[in-house]
Structure 1
Amino acid sequence: MLNFSEASNSMAEVRVLYRSDDYYITLHYPINSVGQTIIVAFDTIDGVYSEKGFGVNFCLANNLPVIFVSHKERTFFQGVSKKLLYNILHPYLIGKDVVTYGSILGGYAAIYYADVLNARAFAISPRCSADPKFKKKFGKNNLDENIFLHDFLSTKNNGKQKYHFFTYDPFNSRDDYYFKEVIFPSLNGSFKVLELPFSSHPSAPFLSRKVNLLKPLALSFFQGEDIGLLSFISPQASSGAKSLFYLNIDLDTVLSKARDSFADGRWEEVASLLYVPLIFHKFQSEEAAFMLAVSLLKEGHKKELILLCRVSKKFNYIEYKQATSLAERAMAGKNYIDAISLWECIIKIYSKFPLGVYVRLASAYIMTSEFKKAEQVLEQCLDINESFKPALDLLDRVASLQAKKFTVSIREIAKPSCYFRLGTKVDGTIVRQKELYNLKVMGWAQIKKGDVSAVAVQYKNKISYFSFNIERPDAVQFLVTKLGLNPKELSSRCGVKVAQELGEGAKFGFCVNGKTEWTHVLSLTPVAELVKGRDNWLFLANDQNCSVDQFTGKLLLDEDKKLAWCSYANDFYEVSKKFNALYVIANSKERVLPGLYPFSQGVEILAHQVENILSDSSVNVVNPVDENSKNIQSYYETDTHWSDVGAFNAFKLCMKAFGYNDEFDVFFEFFGREVVGDLGSKLTPPVSSIRMTHSLRDKAKGSVKCVFDNKIKKTGSLEINLNETAVYEKTVLLFGGSSLKAGGFARYFSYFFSRVVVINLPGSIVKEIVDHECPDHIIVQTNERYLISPGRVYETVVGSPLVKSFKMMSQKELLNFVESINELDDESESYYKKLFGDAALSFVVK
């Protein structure tokens, strides 16, 4: 065994073994050297071209003789062949236990020269960026391709190698590739690998400064000890590979350093300290788990975050207050990006936390205009508690923000050097907020043949480029006819299509051969979406269905629409001959409460026209306008939908039309609840009002169980409710829109019927589902403002709008949907699992 005592660096003999224009090799021999070990240390990639560098002082401090192989910057040791180095060093290595030692390029050299020097190699983050295999994967560097003179490492050496040791960060893609694809295939002897997740490149600073283990690790290897037996090293039991190891460090040893790194936002550093202790050694610490989760999320390591969440959930972490305090601090400082990360990690790590966390996360998403994500978070919250008022109110707010309308203006701010026309079709149009996520702007320009031209778009501190690649012979003709240009000089591919997220202040530029002229800017003018009536009652306005014009009689059915309604009425009647079907109109609020509306009703209105057509075709229509007009509480000030009272009145009319004469009022009582509503949420700040809400007097009637929910939002949603204590052992099939669930309209049927199927498809029927259910009753509901166009009787699900949401999904979202629907428990609804699963798969690109 060697005795490594401290010694002064000055107490060593120094001898120059070789020197050229690019390489400098020196021997440092401590006066107090003992044992037979000698270290050959290799310079790093930057090259010091000096007698001292990487590893020299360390070796001398421990009385180890060391040969330092130095080079000039970025020569990559290519001028030192194995034979040359052997000839230089051999006289000094006779009878010695030789260890090659290096980091990064020096680590590569330690491996490359180990066989010719009959050495054991200790390599930290080894890689050679001049290696052609590395350059092919990651691109070229400043080194000329033709000067890589070394033999390739990625084939096994014929001779038996000595024991080697490697340490690197497997999450550094370049280091991981080089080790697995270049170094590992070359190994032909025993070796061990210490993986240091998130320690970055190189890993030496982490080992020496963060965990103070480089010295005992290196000295143990130099001494010839088995690395795998060290107390601070443990095998990766889960990997099954005997050669792979992690550090075995107590969490308390690194926790204070992790806190400092977390406070400074050094996310990778936090991960390097906490990942192995928490994930693989299963240390329990709510604080550490939260810090690691934030760090992994910030660094984009989603798989590792999922793994952490699985481990953390087993420990039932519930002390969330410190984490929520950090998140609230970020919110108060308007640092919403950080706040999102913090709220997300609270949800992922802790087993118990207030539902308000979901609302705060959604609020942060709203502040960054990520409305779809906000909606998803709120729906996740409502899956836990469907009546959680803050989530319901904010969901209304999100819906209003996404539906918010703007008039688009694309204004020229500078004359381009050549003819450039942009956005003439979209300029002046009205778009919704959600359409701005992928707004399409068309244009064309004077493009000379041979020029490389594009439209530059600057938005949210990011510049994107869209090439002129659309054939526009009409534009060329214009340029020739109007401007007298030579057609032979013009490219016919002069059209462009911009399609990306755009918003207020987005700039457009004309880019030719790398030079950009910023010529246009986009601006948005909000469009009023509501009007105030008497007593501050709010009503919808400027909607695509022209609600105001429908009510005043300015908008009526033309002859084509009348024919379309007649055709639909006949199709509906054919269905109703076999099944007891009703057509239910959820009235517009202004129709029910015209005295509160600021406009007068026309003598003839569109709704009257539709009702007459349906009546003439013997369609059974339920129109609760008269019943709801008797009670102002059937609607409420800040929403377009009926309240629970209004929905209940419509329910009773349906039951009467079906032939049920029970006294349904005795089952319910109603109370006021303050809500924002879809109109109140359009104001800033949002305003609320009192909505009448129902409750059951006999709770036993409420034993309704949802056995199937395809989790599709809005059009395409399908939910099945069963009631074992129902009064009527019958099936009701409901097709409709938002008013099915608004006011509990569909819910009322679930209290009294054993099976209720609720499908979001306003005003239409799908015969495939009707034939499967063979329902006792069918209800087809639509909102009055939708009467501008008739619904349809569709033959199949795939041929109907029920699959509309699938068309908007990405391939990953489609596959996730199929997986989630197949995981639903109730096998009795296997028909719908297969129906919607197959429908989603039909949109997956093979």
Structure 2
Amino acid sequence: MSSLQKTLSFIKHRAIESKIISWSLDYPNPKREPLFENDNIVLRGWILFKRKTLSESPCIYIPYSEFVDRKVILDKARPDVIEAIFGKKDNKNPQHHCGFNINIPCSQKKINIRIRVAEKDYLLKKVDLSEYLKRHTENNKLKVLQGINGWLFLDNDTNYSVDQHCGNLILKKNCLENWQAYINELTTISNDKMKKCAFLITPSKEEVMDRYHPYPKAETSLLKPILEKIPQHLLVYPLNELKELGDAAFLKTDTHWTHQGAKTAAISVANKLKLPEDDILTLLSSDKYTQRKHVGDLGNKLAEPQSATSNFLSSFSFRNWVVYDNALPNFGRIIVTHYPKALTNSTCLIFGSSSSYSMFNYFCRFFSNMIFIHTAGNIDTSLITAISPNYLITQTNARFMIRPPVADYDVDQTIRDKINLLSEEQLTIQKKNVIIRDLEMIRALGLERWHNIISC
């Protein structure tokens, strides 16, 4: 009996045997050296279903997280399998394309291969990738994908950016349910506690600059069912506006948008918040930009760092108007600006991510008080109560949306956890970079409780 004619006797679920003739996982396999492609581990194999299941369009699924599955299409021709199992060559066999060949991000240490037939889900095999990954050192796992004309994109990241772009992921039911719960709470907040509220979703670089991506874009966006749930009076998704900017929308060697891209998004948010559009355009009309080279978070990951030229705002810097910065890295960071000449005498609270930072140069001039909390769109209602802002902006990145944000986030605990995780060296740097220029203002804005955590 050939290796292809293996049985399914090891499978505990008898229901699977009634649907499958045979199957094999060629890679990874303890008897072979693992294959890696674009710094991802190759998963290759085949599966033959019994004829009565063919009309049911069976698929293989690999759960990547509690919220998304990786869908595996059987689209590889395997004449060797057909001949071995059925005893003769038959290119017209309806299961001639019974093979699969996909790349799994190295961030997935263990995977479960499942099949779904007639809306029923069965475990096929558990695969521990840890031993195979040991042969592929951390230094080799670049999280950069070389695109067209020197454009760089994310690869092998925990948000599965390539699989999102190519349409290989499927949102689970609980993902959509959690999104609905978040949207319901945000809608309630906007109705009951806010004068104006906007939910900004930063389109992914892959979506905006898809013409430079090395892989074709999916026909339908993974995010479509989520975007359709968000009320239009809240949603800001400036995909078309960014596309109109062309190459000026995103940094070539970075995951983030350019200052001009950030300006475009900031104007879109201002419009949603019903700020006077003519005044906004007049305010920004005299801005000056300077070209300079930028390495970026992608260019810096290459063996030989790669840079590209882009325009950066040079006539205004929000940093000159920062009155408070707790200097924590990423989540839990609080930045406050006070700009007396702002367009509106108001306080704006932003629950945002790293894409918000390049918008500070614009928001700082829209609102006299800008309070930024790094939560990637997660909402802490205790901060809303304490600050009682005139405007609320929640902001997340499209590629983060496979993990729904929450409306019961605890910034207090996040700050405490972050401080406890910092090494002595990191804590020294953090304390050195803390900015407290007006503690009385911080108290007046309702932020004293969160400041006291880092001052202990």
Q: TM-score, normalised by structure 1?
A: 0.36
Residue 822 to residue 614, structure 1, CA distance change in 2 (3 Å): closer
Matched, 1:771 2:385: yes
State which of 328, 340, 347 in structure 2 corresponds to 1:731: 347
Tell me if 1:569 matches 2:183: yes
Aligned match of 2:361: 747
SS in 1 for 2:450: helix
Partner of 1:828: 441
Distance 2:318 2:136 in 1: 53
Instruction: Tell me which amino acid in the other structure corresponds to 2:301.
Output: K
Q: Aligned pair in 2 of structure 1 residues 786, 429: CA closer, same or farther (>3 Å)?
A: farther
Contact kept, 8 Å, 1:573 with 1:619, in 2: the verdict is no
**Paired residue secondary structure (1:765):** coil
Distance 1:612 1:604 in 2: 13
Q: Distance in 1 between matches of 2:339 and 2:198?
A: 22
1:784 offset after TM fit, Å? 1.0
Per-residue Cα deviation, 1:206-264 (whole angstroms, up to 9, x for no partner): xxxxxxxxxxxxxxxxxxxxxxxxxxxxxxxxxxxxxxxxxxxxxxxxxxxxxxxxxxx
2:141 counterpart residue number: 527
Matched, 1:717 2:330: no
Show the counterpart of 1:758. Answer: 372
Matching of residue 805 in structure 1 with residue 418 in structure 2? yes
Give distance in 2, aligned partners of 1:597 and 1:819: 40
Structure 2 CA distance for partners of 1:832 and 1:812, relative to 1, 3 Å? farther
Q: Which amino acid aligns with 2:146?
A: K
Q: Following superposition of structure 1 onto structure 2, how do residues 49-448 of structure 1 map, counting pairs within 5 Å?
A: 427-428=130-131
- Letter paired with 1:611: L
Q: Offset of 1:820 from its aligned partner?
A: 9.1
- 1:243-300 Cα offsets, whole Å, 9 max, x none, are xxxxxxxxxxxxxxxxxxxxxxxxxxxxxxxxxxxxxxxxxxxxxxxxxxxxxxxxxx
Shift of 1:674: 0.6
- What is the aligned partner in structure 1 of residue 300 from structure 2? 681
Q: 1:607 to 1:670 in 2, by over 3 A?
A: farther
Counterpart amino acid of 2:271? K
Mapped contact 2:248–2:261 kept (Cα < 8 A) = yes
2:412 counterpart SS class: coil
| CA distance 1:538–1:814, change in 2 (3 Å) | closer
CA offsets, 1:545-574, max 9 Å, x none?
111111221112111111111111111111
Give the distance between the partners of 2:364 and 2:262, measured in 1 at CA: 14
The answer to whether 1:670 aligns with 2:289 is yes
Displacement, 1:812? Answer: 10
CA distance in structure 2 between the partners assigned to 1:736 and 1:811 by the alignment: 27
Contact 2:159 2:400 in 1 (8 A): yes
Question: How many residues matched?
Answer: 326
Task: Output one character per residue of 1:57-109: Cα deviation in whole Å (capped at 9) or x when no partner.
Answer: xxxxxxxxxxxxxxxxxxxxxxxxxxxxxxxxxxxxxxxxxxxxxxxxxxxxx
**Shift in alpha-carbon separation, 1:407–1:818, aligned structure 2, 3 A:** closer
CA, structure 1 residues 727+811, in 2 after alignment: closer, same or farther (shift >3 Å)? same
Aligned: 1:623 with 2:242: no
Aligned partner letter, 1:428: E
Deviations 1:795-831 (A, max 9, x none): 64335x3444124136998799789979765333245
The aligned residue for residue 637 of structure 1 is 252
State the AA in 2 paired with 1:734.
I
Looking at secondary structure, tell me which structure has more helix per residue.
1
For 2:148 and 2:450, the matched residues in 1 are separated by 49
Counterpart of 2:267 (choices 643, 652, 667) is 652
Structure 1 position 636, deviation (Å): 2.4
Shift of the 775–825 alpha-carbon distance from structure 1 to 2, 3 Å rule, reads closer
1:684, distance to aligned residue in structure 2 (A):
1.6
Q: 2:415, 2:453 within 8 Å by CA — same for their partners in 1?
A: no
The change in CA–CA distance for 1:819 and 1:623 in structure 2 (over 3 A counts) is closer
Does the C-alpha gap of structure 1 residues 703 and 735 become closer, same or farther in structure 2, counting only changes over 3 Å? closer
**Contact 1:715 1:804 (C-alpha < 8 Å) held by counterparts:** no
Q: Kindly state the Cα deviation for residue 537 of structure 1 after the two structures are TM-superposed.
A: 0.9
Shift of 1:535: 1.0
Query: For 2:300 and 2:447, how far apart are their aligned partners in 1?
Result: 35
Q: Partners of 1:815 and 1:723 in 2: how far apart?
A: 29
Higher fraction of strand: 2
Give how far 1:638 is off: 0.6
Confirm or deny: 8 A CA contact 2:325 2:435 kept in the other structure.
no
Which amino acid in structure 2 is aligned with residue 691 of structure 1?
A: S
Distance in structure 2 (CA, Å) of the matches to 1:817 and 1:586: 28
How far 1:791 moved relative to its partner? Answer: 0.7
- The match for 1:549 is 163
Native 8 Å contact 1:674 1:689 kept in 2: yes
Q: 2-side partners of 1:586 and 1:766: how far apart?
A: 20
CA distance, structure 2, for counterparts of residue 707 and residue 586 of structure 1: 27
8 A contact 2:328–2:430 mirrored in 1? no
**Residues in 1 aligned to 2:242 and 2:205: alpha-carbon distance in whole angstroms:** 10
Q: CA, structure 1 residues 785+803, in 2 after alignment: closer, same or farther (shift >3 Å)? A: farther
Partners of 1:666 and 1:819 in 2: how far apart?
A: 36
SS in 2 for 1:682: coil
Larger radius of gyration: 1
8 Å Cα contact 1:545/1:786 also seen in 2? yes
Alignment match, 1:601: 217
Alpha-carbon distance between aligned partners in 1 of 2:379 and 2:152, rounded to the nearest angstrom: 32
Q: 1:760, CA displacement in angstroms?
A: 1.0
Deviation at 1:612, TM superposition (A): 0.9
Q: Determine whether 1:586 maps to 2:202.
A: yes
Distance in structure 2 (CA, Å) of the matches to 1:822 and 1:406 = 36
| Residues 706, 721 of structure 1: 8 Å contact kept | yes
Q: How does 1:29-68 map to 2 (within 5 A)?
A: none
Structure possessing the higher relative contact order (Cα contacts under 8 Å, 6 or more residues apart): 2
Q: Secondary structure at the match of 2:351?
A: strand
> What CA distance in whole angstroms lies between the structure 2 residues aligned with 1:816 and 1:638?
27
TM-score by length of 2: 0.64
Identity within the alignment, %: 25
Contact 1:407 1:524 in 2 (8 A): no
CA distance in 2, matches of 1:534, 1:604: 22
Contact 2:295-2:308 at 8 Å conserved across structures: yes
User: In the alignment, what sits opposite 1:692?
Assistant: 311
Using a 3 Å threshold, how does the CA distance of structure 1 residues 836 and 427 change in structure 2: closer, same or farther?
same
